[in-house]
């Protein structure tokens, strides 16, 4: 087994562990911190595959921006007590367990089929920084600007909603 494959599986296991901690943590803030660690581990996985641009974007956008948004929402929304959450009549544990088992089964089938016949890497993969920048600022300039305006409006709306009347 090569060292690259060992690193891949080790980082993949770390990602799975942090993802399990996210969904099993009782404290919401701890869950968000595990989510940050999970996003950073995914960025590490991208970095091990020599995709530094995607790793940097993963850190900036997800570990930085999205998690800060989650933290603001958690801090501003009133949380229910643990007894109220445990007695929720809408909770469907059996259906959730079946869905988790189905997703894990699908991942195992994909992993086994990939191990049997791995896909050949593409020679001209369009993932470089120059290709992404050229596409972003030529073909997708208008959608990029629309999304930036939408995010600005959402941020201003969140600030207005979070502001307390004095």
Burial of 80 (0-12, 13-18, 19+ CB in 10 A): exposed
Fold exhibited by the domain 1-79: 1.20.120
pLDDT classification of 41: cutoffs 50, 70, 90: very high
Helix (H) or strand (E) holding 68: helix 67-76
Q: Which two tokens stand for residue 56?
A: 């940097």
- The pLDDT of 116-134, averaged and rounded, is 64
Evaluate if residue 53 carries a pLDDT over 60: yes
DSSP assignment letter at 112: H
Mean pLDDT of 5-33: 88
Q: Is the pLDDT of residue 147 over 80?
A: yes
Report for 11-15, 63-67, 119-123: range of highest mean pLDDT: 11-15
* H helical segments located in the chain: 3-24, 28-48, 52-57, 67-76, 82-86, 93-116, 129-137, 141-162
């Amino acid at each position: 087994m090569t060292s690259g494959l060992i690193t891949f599986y080790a980082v993949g296991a770390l990602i799975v562990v942090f993802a399990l901690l996210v969904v099993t943590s009782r404290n919401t803030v701890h869950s968000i911190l595990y989510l940050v660690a999970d996003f950073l581990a995914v960025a590490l996985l991208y970095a091990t595959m020599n995709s530094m641009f995607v790793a940097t974007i993963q850190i900036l956008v997800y570990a930085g921006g999205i998690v800060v948004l989650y933290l603001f929402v958690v801090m501003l929304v009133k949380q229910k007590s643990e007894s109220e959450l445990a007695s929720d009549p809408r909770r469907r544990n059996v259906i959730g367990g079946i869905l988790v088992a189905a997703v894990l089964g699908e991942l195992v089938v994909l992993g086994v089929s990939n191990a049997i016949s791995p896909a050949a890497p593409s020679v001209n993969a369009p993932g470089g920084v120059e290709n992404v920048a050229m596409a972003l600022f030529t073909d997708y300039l208008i959608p990029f600007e629309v999304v930036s305006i939408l995010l600005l409006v959402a941020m201003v709306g969140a600030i207005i909603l979070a502001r307390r009347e004095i």
